[in-house]
């Protein structure tokens, strides 16, 4: 792949798409620009209806944009698909019945010019134990892993995963991300959409946050968290009501679990001084920076306020 070494994995320019809706057109994607260098792992975050899946569908050539363009390793989505440069695990989907896992993988690899070896696909997707099982006999987590295997069949340079861990339990998710990181470590580009912020935090080099068809933030998880001035103060403080704690200057939210309280603060220094002055009983105090979730909620709320 020397020809593609200097090319961006995905380049999106002015991408726009509207769908007809009952109350006029729904602007799913409103002119977004993103460039993703080859070899990176990028999380696409956003609430439902943010335009993530429509964007992915346009990058894959499944949906034709109203305006703008998407390219994959310098080629049109169609050409990239023909050469097996791009693979995807689509958001909705199950498997066709009456084939074993191995047969299904073989069928897919037979469609590509230079596919990944069948055994390698099965190993990478963690399917050794169920390789000879019929697809309709698999558990939800196993089905998702087979769908991951389907996406790997072409030995793609660019892998797109649209909410890959939906319907997986904690253990299945852990196994899945281990497989995904093993694939990403071979120098490939992985782009995944997710609702689970901790997945983005743990697995992505970069986060692209979408809301209402636009990109509202784009950067490393540390950078995005840094855009939000919120901090958290956690303390053990029995017997004090949430309403009372909310009167502390600089506290915007209170979350109580048993004796433990977490204060969300826009001025943590002032809030901490007041907390200690008011309640001598407060102990085990920790101050932590904004979580990705805070950044997410605040940036999405800002975007909605601007509309």
Partner 1 sequence: MIWLHYTRYELLRTFRDRRLFLFAFGFPVVLYFVIAAPNRHSHDFSSTGVSAPLYYMVSLSSFGTMMSMMSAGFRIAGERQVGWTRQLRITPLSVRSYMRAKIVTAYAMATTSLLLLYICGLTLGVSLPAGRWLLMTLLILIALLPFGVLGVALGHVLTIDSVGPATGGIVSLLAIVSGTWFPITHGFLHDVGQFVPSYWLVQAGRIGLHGQSWHALAWAVVIGWTVILAAVAALAYRRDSGRV
* Interface residue list for partner 1 (CB under 8 A): 60-63, 81-84, 86-88, 90-99, 103-104, 106-108, 110-113, 150, 154
Q: What is the distance between the alpha carbons of residues 266 and 231, in angstroms, rounded to a whole number?
A: 7
Q: Pick the closer one to partner 1 by CB: 168 or 292.
A: 168
Taking the complex as a whole, how short is the minimal distance between the CB of residue 229 and partner 1, in angstroms? 39
- Please state, in angstroms and as integers, the Cα–Cα distance from residue 30 to each residue in 2, 19, 36, 67, following that order: 34, 12, 19, 9
3-class SS at 253?
strand
Q: Pick the closer one to partner 1 by CB: 136 or 260.
A: 136
- Please state, in angstroms and as integers, the Cα–Cα distance from residue 67 to each residue in 28, 128, 267, following that order: 12, 44, 44
3-class SS at 178?
helix
Q: What angle do CA 153, 158, 162 make, to 5 degrees?
A: 85
Taking the complex as a whole, how short is the minimal distance between the CB of residue 265 and partner 1, in angstroms? 42
Residues 6+ apart with CB under 8 A from 219: 206, 207, 227
Both structure tokens of 304: 């909605």
Taking the complex as a whole, how short is the minimal distance between the CB of residue 130 and partner 1, in angstroms? 17
Q: Pick the closer one to partner 1 by CB: 134 or 282.
A: 134
Q: Pick the closer one to partner 1 by CB: 95 or 254.
A: 95
- Please state, in angstroms and as integers, the Cα–Cα distance from residue 222 to each residue in 104, 207, 219, 271, 287, following that order: 40, 10, 8, 24, 17
Taking the complex as a whole, how short is the minimal distance between the CB of residue 8 and partner 1, in angstroms? 20
Taking the complex as a whole, how short is the minimal distance between the CB of residue 59 and partner 1, in angstroms? 10
- Rounded (to 5) percent helix, strand, coil in the chain: 35, 30, 35
Taking the complex as a whole, how short is the minimal distance between the CB of residue 298 and partner 1, in angstroms? 31
Q: Pick the closer one to partner 1 by CB: 61 or 68.
A: 61
Q: Pick the closer one to partner 1 by CB: 113 or 258.
A: 113
Taking the complex as a whole, how short is the minimal distance between the CB of residue 237 and partner 1, in angstroms? 49
Q: What is the distance between the alpha carbons of residues 161 and 41, in angstroms, rounded to a whole number?
A: 11
Q: Identify each DSSP E strand in the chain by its residue range.
A: 8-19, 26-37, 41-45, 67-72, 86-89, 158-162, 189-194, 206-211, 214-219, 231-236, 251-257, 260-265, 283-289
Taking the complex as a whole, how short is the minimal distance between the CB of residue 294 and partner 1, in angstroms? 32
Q: Pick the closer one to partner 1 by CB: 18 or 83.
A: 83
Q: Pick the closer one to partner 1 by CB: 20 or 23.
A: 20
């Amino acid at each position: 792949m020397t020809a593609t070494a200097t090319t961006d994995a995905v380049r999106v320019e002015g991408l726009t798409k509207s769908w007809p809706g009952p109350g006029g057109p729904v602007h799913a994607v409103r002119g977004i620009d993103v460039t993703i260098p080859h070899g990176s792992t990028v999380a696409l975050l956003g609430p439902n209806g943010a335009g993530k899946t429509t964007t992915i569908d346009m990058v894959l050539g499944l949906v034709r944009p109203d305006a703008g363009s998407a390219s994959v390793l310098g080629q049109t989505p169609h050409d990239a698909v023909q050469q097996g440069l791009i693979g995807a695990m689509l958001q909705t989907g199950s498997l066709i019945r009456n084939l074993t896992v191995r047969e299904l993988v073989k069928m897919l690899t037979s469609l590509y010019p230079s596919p990944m070896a069948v055994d390698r696909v099965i190993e990478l997707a963690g399917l050794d134990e169920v390789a000879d099982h019929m697809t309709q006999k698999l558990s939800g987590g196993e089905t998702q892993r087979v769908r991951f295997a389907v996406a790997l069949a072409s030995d793609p340079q660019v892998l797109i995963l649209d909410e890959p861990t939906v319907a997986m339990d904690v253990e299945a998710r852990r196994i899945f991300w281990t497989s995904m990181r093993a694939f990403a470590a071979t120098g490939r580009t992985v782009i995944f959409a997710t609702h689970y912020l901790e997945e983005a935090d743990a697995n992505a080099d970069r986060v692209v946050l979408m809301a209402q068809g636009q990109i509202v933030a784009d950067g490393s998880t540390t950078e995005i968290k840094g855009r939000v001035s919120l901090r958290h103060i956690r303390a053990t403080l029995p017997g004090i009501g949430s309403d009372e704690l909310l009167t502390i200057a600089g506290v915007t939210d209170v979350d109580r679990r048993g004796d433990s309280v977490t204060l969300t603060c826009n001025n943590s220094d002032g809030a901490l001084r007041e907390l200690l002055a008011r309640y001598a009983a407060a102990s085990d105090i920790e101050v932590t920076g904004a979580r990705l979730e805070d950044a997410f909620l605040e940036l999405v709320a800002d975007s909605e306020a601007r509309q």
